[in-house]
Amino acid sequence: MRAAGILMAILMLAVALTGCTNTPAKSSYSVDNTGILSVTCAPAPMSEQVLFSNETYTESKIVLHTESGDVTTYLAAPKKPKAAIVYVPGAGETIAAHSSRMEHYTAAGYVFYFIDTRGRGGETPGEPFGQQLLQEDYNRFKSGEWPQYYLTICDLVNARQLLADRYSVPVYAMGSSNGGRYAAVAAGVDPKFAGYVGISTSDWGLLDSVNIQSIPAGPLRFATSLEPGSYLPLISPRPVWIFHARDDPVIPFADGEQFFTEAKEPKNFTEFSGTHGINADVDGKIIAQWAQIYGT
């Protein structure tokens, strides 16, 4: 009887220890035969520093502690939001330049969450998008490691989850220029995004620049997995809004129009005043459109 009691105690201890030492599931990704990316993103612990707060809204700096390094983000939220935005900036956009914009969106009732993406040159480390990163990411892809591009998509998925958990409101993926490209992929990969807003953006042109017939299957799958246009059809029946300035000197207006054709309904293409990137005219148009959905 004593031996049986000792055995039972050992088994109970083993069960208890198993419960204590469980580790969270790790992130994983796959790319299917057509080149479409799927991701499973482990929750990222975070640390938050409140920068400003009053009776109307709160601004804070949030650092997501991901498996592959820290990602810096900035959050502005009204007391009772109607919807939320995961905003992906283009190259050179600083959080300081968005201060008044964040106040404007929160005053209208929307959470504005600025993600300092990897390699953008801000506070989050990483390599900038270009030939060197493409080669490095393809090497990682071949060896089954995480390309930085896919890590960025997981960051956006984690940001969406954070907002959904905190506010229980629809969360949209929105981005300007290069940021619009990442946001499109994230909205296509994660069906829990409520929709997509792209500003001054288009495909990367990776597939247009080469003879597809001559690309081996592996590189073709990888290139397809990076192209935002691969994911626009997957966003439907969630809405797609595209904004582009006719005088855009960086991404031609025609490229924005072509990008728009890849989306399915419901979708809307809006020309705005300006040149390249998000501006006050875009903000006003977005808030006016959303007022019809969520009220003033």
Distance CA 180, CA 163 (A): 19
User: What is the share, in percent, of the chain residues with pLDDT greater than 90?
Assistant: 85
User: What is the share, in percent, of the chain residues with pLDDT greater than 70?
Assistant: 89
Read off the tokens for 288: 């006016």
Average pLDDT in the chain: 90
Distance CA 111, CA 1 (A): 63
The pLDDT value recorded for residue 210 is 59
Domain map (residue ranges) of the chain: 29-294
Q: Please list, residue by residue across 110-129, b when 16 or more beta carbons sit within 10 angstroms of its beta carbon and e when fewer do.
A: bbbbbbbbbbbebebebeeb
Q: Which residue is associated with the tokens 């109607």?
A: 82
Helix (H, G, I), strand (E, B) or coil at 157: helix
Q: Which amino acid is at 74?
A: Y
pLDDT in tens, 36-51: 999 999 999 999 999 9
Preceding peptide of 45 cis, ω within 30°: no
Q: Largest Cα–Cα distance in the chain?
A: 87
Burial of 99 (0-12, 13-18, 19+ CB in 10 A): middle
Q: Which of 1-10, 54-63, 144-153 has the lowest mean pLDDT?
A: 1-10
| H, E, C per residue of 224-253 | HHHCHHHCHHHHCCCCEEEEECCCCCCCCH
Which pLDDT band, with edges at 50, 70 and 90, does 207 fall under? confident
Distance CA 102, CA 287 (A): 12
Give the closest residue to 113 by CA, choosing from 69, 67, 169: 169
Q: Tell me, which fold does domain 29-294 have in CATH?
A: Rossmann fold (3.40.50)
Prediction pTM value = 0.90
Which pLDDT band, with edges at 50, 70 and 90, does 1 fall under? very low
The pLDDT value recorded for residue 92 is 87
**Which residues contact residue 164 at a Cβ distance below 8 angstroms, ignoring those fewer than 6 apart?**
84, 171, 192
Helix (H, G, I), strand (E, B) or coil at 143: helix
